[in-house]
Structure 1
Amino acid sequence: MKRFFVMMMATVMVAGTFFTYHTVQAAEESLGGETPEHLTLTWTDSPKTTQNFTWRTSTDVTESVVQIVETSNYDGSFDSSEMVENTGDSFTFESDEGAMQVHEAKATALEPGTSYMYRVGSGQQGGWSDAASFTTEAGGDKPFTFLFTTDTQSAASTNMTWGYGIWGDIFDKALTQYPNARFMLLSGDIVDRGDEQIHWENWFKAAQQQLPTINMVPTMGNHDVYGTGEKNFAAQFQLPENGPEGEKEFAYSFDYSNVHIAVLNSEGDLQKQAEWLKQDMAASDKQWNIVSFHRSPYHSHPDRASLDVRHAWTPVFDEAGVDLVLSGHDHAYMRSYPLYDGEKVTQDKGTTYIIGGSAGPKFYEMGNQPWMKVKFDQDKQIYSGVTVDGNELQFNVTANDGETVDAFTMVKEEPFAGMNFTEWGENLATNDQMKTWSISLNTNIDGSALKADHVQVKKSNAEQVDVSIAVENSNTLTVTPKEPYEPGTYYMMIDQNLPNETGKALKNNVRAEFQVE
């Protein structure tokens, strides 16, 4: 049986939760100072062309400014004529530790696949952060890597043995192994007591070197919502507001390259999110669909089953063809077999469920369930690097001592492989009045007539092009823009839903890049 011991002064762990004895301060003193702290990168819109910045200061500082310049034009200062300055907003957040000013700013009209240097602050001397950098998402469906970990909760300290220092160390090791990772997906229980700002203070402090350099994709866990914890979470992250009513910024989705990622709140309204997720996934034109939340529907702990999550959400995953579910809560790593309706199936017919173990000091006992394919219950913190390259997804799990915990590859068969469609680019008209794109498609795949259920054309900045669609004959589809294409790079996606023998709708995707001169 696993046991967990810590020795510290004035700190105990009760019922799986860390409590630090300290006098709760009335919200009179101001947290922070003139210089920005808790600097965090997130997105509320396209990662190709936008970037959000959040930081905090004392309540004496209300101005919110971000200065940004392409790295190629950065000479060590922000005095370049190429520098762009954006102003944002701020608000006062009252916590149990004191009041602080939270600043939010956003850069827009950025170039895809471009490295930028930036700093944030009040706009006054002495009120700037250190310079840091980020890189926007590349145009097109280019290969990329993201990081995944979970359950960074600990005692309210930055101690490297039993505090949030462990999380900072894991974050650093992950970025050392994957220096070009584009974001960190953290599936809940970020802190141990969401309503106690002292935990957030130490979480931010432990990762203060890493957070300004890579985007965060946070998920709420049961410890994050303790008391008024939802307010602390919402105050400190800017997130997409495309989720269902009542779950804005707690449930959300975004696209990155050929991946669609939906984040859910397993502590919220499960049914409302299920209905939203159906619509969200149906609208996705991406090759890979990933969902993340805290409580796994297929647990690794002997007796921590989240049956309400299983009943509410796994039918939606089956129906939508979700490829991968990333969660936490059980503090022991598990990878399931691909599952459909709770039964083992092949990878192309089911969803693989991952429990990301622990990136904090707490570990749980591992159970033995029929859905488990890989188990790891050693008392080691772990992180994962996920690389997506076209129809291939590589998942590598590493422990804090460098041990490889798990490694696997998911491959999607190329849609319509060997199905007789013309080579892309041969039928692109180039007349001055209107440019069209024609595709010759086989009319029958496995006895199911091929139809263009969903056709989209987008610019490289993800802006959708208004098109009309016509079927010229039994095997040719013509897509015509309603306004002439401007010169540039465009992407076309055709989705077709084909039911398999289980009745599950499988999405096939034809996609291509084309240039207009």
Structure 2
Amino acid sequence: MANNDTMNRRRFIKTAAATGVLALGGAALWKFGGLGALRDTALHQFPGVLYVERLRQIVTENTGRGRVLMWEVTSPIEQQTVEVRVQGEAEIMRRYAVTDEGFTDDSIEVYQYVAELDRLMPGTRYQYRITSGGAATDWQTLYTPTGGEPYKMLIFPDSQSSDYTDWKQLAHLAWARNTDAQLFACMGDLVDNGEDRLQWTEFFVGVKEMQRSIPMAPVMGNHETYNRDWKVRLPEAYLHYFDTPKNGSKEFDRYYYSFDYGDVHYIVLCTQQKEIDAFKSGLLAEQLAWMRRDLKAHRKRWNVVLMHKDVLQYRINGRPEREEGIDEDNGRVWMPVFDELAIDVVFSAHLHTYRNRGHLYHFAKTPDKKGPLYILTGVAGNVRYPNLWIDHAFDEVTLPQPETDNYLTMTVTHEALEIACFLPDGTEMDRVRVTKR
């Protein structure tokens, strides 16, 4: 969420925290913050080790057959290759080309590389590593799901922070308790300021343990569109950091996308039309047409929407003129489409509070559970709005105020989607089950 009052009062990080460097190939995880001498010493002591940072898996259109790998290095490296083998086997199954996708933002040159893995077999445990010349990283794990198997997903609300300590602790604890999760989603406002390179490196530290082992599904938030002066810009850093599935758009490639994981088709919407319209128009209309085509082509047993901005409007303490209702920019637009296309669950974020609204259909509560289940996911960073929102008539479960961080899990089976909300210490605060009629 963003407004001038909250942005003006925030304290931003002034000094660099340690960033994770994958010192792989017989060594462990090294940490340094601009300590070139330490890296040089390590390279001298461990020849043949390839050092990469922020190694991550990104979902592909069909995660059972493909995966995108992204990583960074501290200086350019030529002739990199990704090697893949079946776990437990010594023979290299396939080698993949690496693309240089470096960019400059926040006056910092980022040396970033991408490899797209295809022709993988569903239901297989793989290992992968990055090589260059005689150097290589350690082997990392990668799993491709089958169509009908049950699995667990981690879901993180807004992680934007003035100090990312809380976010890193929450993400670490969530992963420690759910190492059986097969993918995770971050629901937008990943950082507080989209141009701030340091905030991005801090965000990635939070997910460093899981992002190299399981794929990530990122959602764009409005804070990804802010520059250093808190003016709106195009989401340059977000679009560079996340090579998400293609959507067929010339103007808005990677702003929104969809993917399959097991029995679920996920639709990731971009709700930043107000911010993006300052530069180019047509985002909303394009998504509306695309979503109908997409669901015709990718119908699965379950259909789940991930979107940053919420569909409801809340009353605000101290602002009696603000009325409760449906959000005009997103709720009025998208909720009828979700009804029409039989979406099962809609996850949103942006308001930094957890709310389970139950099932809504035609803008109303449905006692027979008709229509999608709507979950407002909460907050995962330290930018909080205690006692700001007055409960909506649709709210069925709200976390106690003042609210603290939370994360969610979703367990997928053929029979049901089961969603649970947890505090950082693992305390379960809500659980809801969605079944098919």
Correspondence 1:335-484 to 2 at 5 A: 335-346=356-367, 348-364=369-385, 365-376=388-399, 377-413=401-437
Among 148, 157, 165, the residue aligned to 1:141 = 148
Give the AA of the match of 1:392. Answer: A
TM-score, length-scaled by structure 1:
0.69
State the SS of the aligned residue for 1:280.
helix
1:109 Cα offset (Å): 1.8
Q: Cα deviations across residues 203-229 of structure 1 (Å, max 9, x unaligned)? A: 123332222111110000010111346
1:20 Cα offset (Å): 4.0
Among 264, 274, 280, the residue aligned to 2:294 = 280
Asked if the contact 1:282/1:320 (under 8 Å) is kept, the reply is no
State the SS of the aligned residue for 1:338.
strand
Asked if the contact 1:347/1:410 (under 8 Å) is kept, the reply is no
Which residue pairs with 1:313 in the alignment?
Answer: 334
More relative contact order in 1 or in 2 (CA 8 Å, sep 6+)?
A: 2
1:349 and 1:149 map into 2 onto residues whose CA distance is 26
Paired residues, number: 380
2:11 and 2:120 map into 1 onto residues whose CA distance is 43
1:230 Cα offset (Å): 1.3
Counterpart check, 1:39 vs 2:60: no
What is the CA RMSD across the aligned residues, in angstroms? Answer: 2.5
1:272 Cα offset (Å): 2.2
Which residue pairs with 1:200 in the alignment?
Answer: 200
2:315 and 2:177 map into 1 onto residues whose CA distance is 29
Name the one with the larger helix percent: 2
Asked if the contact 2:85/2:91 (under 8 Å) is kept, the reply is no
Asked if the contact 1:196/1:229 (under 8 Å) is kept, the reply is no
Asked if the contact 2:85/2:126 (under 8 Å) is kept, the reply is yes
Which residue pairs with 1:265 in the alignment?
Answer: 270
Point out the more displaced range, 393-402 or 34-43. 34-43
Larger Rg: 1
2:235 and 2:63 map into 1 onto residues whose CA distance is 25
Which residue pairs with 2:24 in the alignment?
Answer: none
Q: How has the CA–CA distance of structure 1 residues 136 and 18 changed in structure 2, closer, same or farther, with 3 Å as cutoff?
A: farther
Which residue pairs with 1:462 in the alignment?
Answer: none
Which residue pairs with 1:92 in the alignment?
Answer: 102
Q: How has the CA–CA distance of structure 1 residues 281 and 273 changed in structure 2, closer, same or farther, with 3 Å as cutoff?
A: same
Correspondence 1:3-82 to 2 at 5 A: 14-15=7-8, 17-20=10-13, 35-73=51-89, 80-82=90-92
2:144 and 2:66 map into 1 onto residues whose CA distance is 8
Q: Cα deviations across residues 359-415 of structure 1 (Å, max 9, x unaligned)? A: 1112222322111111114432111110111131111111112211100111113xx
1:300 Cα offset (Å): 5.5
Which residue pairs with 1:159 in the alignment?
Answer: none
1:372 and 1:13 map into 2 onto residues whose CA distance is 25
Give the AA of the match of 1:148. Answer: I
State the SS of the aligned residue for 1:408.
strand
Q: How has the CA–CA distance of structure 1 residues 15 and 306 changed in structure 2, closer, same or farther, with 3 Å as cutoff?
A: farther
Give the AA of the match of 2:195. Answer: D
State the SS of the aligned residue for 1:56.
strand
Q: How has the CA–CA distance of structure 1 residues 407 and 40 changed in structure 2, closer, same or farther, with 3 Å as cutoff?
A: same
1:243 Cα offset (Å): 5.3
1:62 and 1:16 map into 2 onto residues whose CA distance is 44
Which residue pairs with 1:453 in the alignment?
Answer: none
Which residue pairs with 1:76 in the alignment?
Answer: none
2:299 and 2:35 map into 1 onto residues whose CA distance is 44
Asked if the contact 2:188/2:218 (under 8 Å) is kept, the reply is yes
Asked if the contact 2:356/2:375 (under 8 Å) is kept, the reply is yes
Q: How has the CA–CA distance of structure 1 residues 254 and 346 changed in structure 2, closer, same or farther, with 3 Å as cutoff?
A: farther
Q: Cα deviations across residues 436-466 of structure 1 (Å, max 9, x unaligned)? A: xxxxxxxxxxxxxxxxxxxxxxxxxxxxxxx
Which residue pairs with 1:101 in the alignment?
Answer: 111
1:222 and 1:16 map into 2 onto residues whose CA distance is 18
2:381 and 2:82 map into 1 onto residues whose CA distance is 32
Q: How has the CA–CA distance of structure 1 residues 307 and 58 changed in structure 2, closer, same or farther, with 3 Å as cutoff?
A: same
1:300 and 1:409 map into 2 onto residues whose CA distance is 25
1:31 Cα offset (Å): 12
Give the AA of the match of 1:367. Answer: I
1:288 Cα offset (Å): 1.2
State the SS of the aligned residue for 1:199.
helix
Aligned residues with identical type, % of pairs? 27
Q: How has the CA–CA distance of structure 1 residues 22 and 396 changed in structure 2, closer, same or farther, with 3 Å as cutoff?
A: closer
Asked if the contact 2:171/2:206 (under 8 Å) is kept, the reply is no
Give the AA of the match of 1:48. Answer: G
Which residue pairs with 1:296 in the alignment?
Answer: 310
1:31 and 1:196 map into 2 onto residues whose CA distance is 20
Give the AA of the match of 1:113. Answer: G
Asked if the contact 1:299/1:330 (under 8 Å) is kept, the reply is no
Asked if the contact 1:244/1:276 (under 8 Å) is kept, the reply is no
Q: How has the CA–CA distance of structure 1 residues 237 and 279 changed in structure 2, closer, same or farther, with 3 Å as cutoff?
A: same
Asked if the contact 1:300/1:355 (under 8 Å) is kept, the reply is no
Give the AA of the match of 1:84. Answer: R
1:166 and 1:410 map into 2 onto residues whose CA distance is 31
1:133 Cα offset (Å): 0.8
Which residue pairs with 2:184 in the alignment?
Answer: 184
State the SS of the aligned residue for 1:167.
helix
Asked if the contact 2:64/2:262 (under 8 Å) is kept, the reply is no
Asked if the contact 2:190/2:224 (under 8 Å) is kept, the reply is yes
Asked if the contact 1:148/1:384 (under 8 Å) is kept, the reply is yes
